[in-house]
Amino acid sequence: MARAATTSDAFNAVAEPQRREILMLLKGRERPVNELARALRITQPRTSKHLRVLREVGLVRVREAGQQRLYALDARGLQPVHEWVVGFEQFWNESLDRLNEYVKKLQEEEPDVSTK
Amino acid sequence: MARAATTSDAFNAVAEPQRREILMLLKGRERPVNELARALRITQPRTSKHLRVLREVGLVRVREAGQQRLYALDARGLQPVHEWVVGFEQFWNESLDRLNEYVKKLQEEEPDVSTK
DNA sequence: TTGACATATTCTGATATGGACATATATCGT
DNA sequence: ACGATATATGTCCATATCAGAATATGTCAA
């Protein structure tokens, strides 16, 4: 079989650094494609493609404004990502404790690790 | 140029549904590879590959336990994801308002939309 | 209509990726 | 040492994906 389609949900849309940048630029105000392209220092076609992905997963909206198309953030699609990652919040501090346990266990298993 | 490497940070590691599942299964307790494979209903090699990605981005730790290798969650790597997405929290409700504005604008531009 | 400007799409190429399968490696019990 | 078990890795395939370049589409102004 082949690679699974990935640009079909918010998790994947947001996995692309430039798409994350676009979303951040759209906080606060809508912007035309060229402005985004300039800000990201990438070509206009590339920008349009990223915007298409973001559009398809519903993270941005477009509005016609004369010859420009103004893209605006629609952050609601990020909620699933937020919910998922929040489910791990309680484990961050815990992770430190577990790391200590882990290191301790390793040392017990290899008490001569420092003399190798 | 070519496609950018993608399995090199937490955002991408987490973009894969099965890897998300693995991380969820590791909440609470560490597990051997076969147990994860069974739970996900995928082959053992595939599971090992996902675990490798998760290991490389630091989201899991391994511990040798006899002939098994026990994988444990290390959720700290999810913090950047959390921080990024939390930066959009304030826009979710706002998004509803903006959607209304947006629809209103569309209707103003095409006042005969319902008679088409 | 024509030209300038803004944006989207198509084509092509290089590479990353997920998956199946076979195989290598390592550990344990006997 | 040997077989069984557990895990990791390598190979191969089909496809997704990012990127550049060229081109198509659409809008405005004169």
* Per-residue pLDDT, A28: 86
Q: Which nucleotides of C are covered by protein (CB under 7 A)?
A: 4-10, 13-23, 26-28
Among B63, B37, B39, B32, CA closest to B50:
B37
| pLDDT digits 0-9 by tens, A61-87 | 999 999 999 999 999 999 999 999 999
| pLDDT digits 0-9 by tens, B54-66 | 999 999 999 999 9
B14: closest CA of chain A, how far (Å): 7
Q: Is A55 helix (H, G, I), strand (E, B) or coil?
A: helix
Q: pTM of whole model > 0.75?
A: yes
At residue A97 the predicted structure's pLDDT band, cuts being 50, 70 and 90, is low
* Per-residue pLDDT, B93: 74
A58: closest CA of chain B, how far (Å): 11
Residue numbers of chain B with a pLDDT score lower than 70:
1-7, 94-116
Of B27, B61, B88, the CB nearest to A75: B88
Whole-number Å distance between alpha carbons of B15 and A110 = 36
- A68-73/A60-65 β-pairing: antiparallel
At residue A116 the predicted structure's pLDDT band, cuts being 50, 70 and 90, is very low
